[in-house]
Amino acid sequence: MSSEIDEYNGGSVLAMLGKNCVAIASDKRFGMKLMTLGTEFPKIFQATDKIYIAMAGLATDIQTLSELIRYKINMYKLREEREIEPTTLAYMVASTLYERRFSPYYVSPLIAGLDKNNKPYICNMDLIGCVTTTNDFVVGGAADDCLLGTCEALYEPDLEPEDLFETISQSLISAVDRNAASGWGAVVHVLTPERVITRTLKTRQD
């Protein structure tokens, strides 16, 4: 699953579904192979008030694609005079990726958000835009194999926002500590109908 390209700049992302809430998290590392160059590299982008999109993979593509998606979301908002829905955004990103089917961006995006009825939604996609929507958790990046293991063990359905935060944070930290290309802190956003709670985690710095 994770390939050499994922390890080039490093970084991992994760999203989980809770009871009327979603959480999305990432580490903060930016490196070049074994050399760490930055420890504040943003991988989670706000799409709307209630949707976040996280991307792991090749850093240059994360930045290019996030700007392209930002442009498309803004154009959608101007054309339609309403906010984009999470499923719509997922297929917008997927189409953007599939358009480059034969010259892909090396990214694994995750989308987490609440729709207009505040129903939580998460999905991930592969580098050419194959959307996978689940009702538990989705992962991506250099430590994705580790993340699948930790999430599979620690996740349980219908967690309240506070409990979801603990579960997603512990899953992320445990996985990222076993992946040299990820780490150096982590950010967790918990999205509820009322507010978005953002926390920075205290983690190992090696």
Q: Which residues bind other proteins (CB under 8 A)?
A: 1-6, 8, 49-50, 68, 71-72, 75, 94, 97-106, 125-132, 134, 144-145, 148, 153-154, 156, 159, 162-163, 165-167, 169-170, 173, 185, 193-202
For 197, list phi and psi in degrees, rounded to 5. -105, 120
Nearer to other proteins, 51 or 54 (CB): 51
**Tokens 């392209």 correspond to what residue?**
68
DSSP 193: S
Nearer to other proteins, 25 or 54 (CB): 25
SS3 of 100-166? CCCCCCCEEEEEEEECCCCCEEEEEECCCCCEEECCCEEEEECCHHHHHHHHHHHCCCCCCHHHHHH
Nearer to other proteins, 37 or 158 (CB): 158
Minimum CB distance to other proteins, residue 105 (Å): 7
Nearer to other proteins, 133 or 180 (CB): 133
Taking the CA atoms of residue 86, residue 18, residue 204 and residue 148 in that order, the dihedral angle to the nearest 10 degrees is -80
Q: Which two tokens stand for residue 76?
A: 């959608």
Minimum CB distance to other proteins, residue 36 (Å): 19
Minimum CB distance to other proteins, residue 185 (Å): 8
Minimum CB distance to other proteins, residue 32 (Å): 12
Minimum CB distance to other proteins, residue 76 (Å): 10
Nearer to other proteins, 2 or 36 (CB): 2
Q: Which of 96, 166, 89 is nearest to 122 (CA)?
A: 89
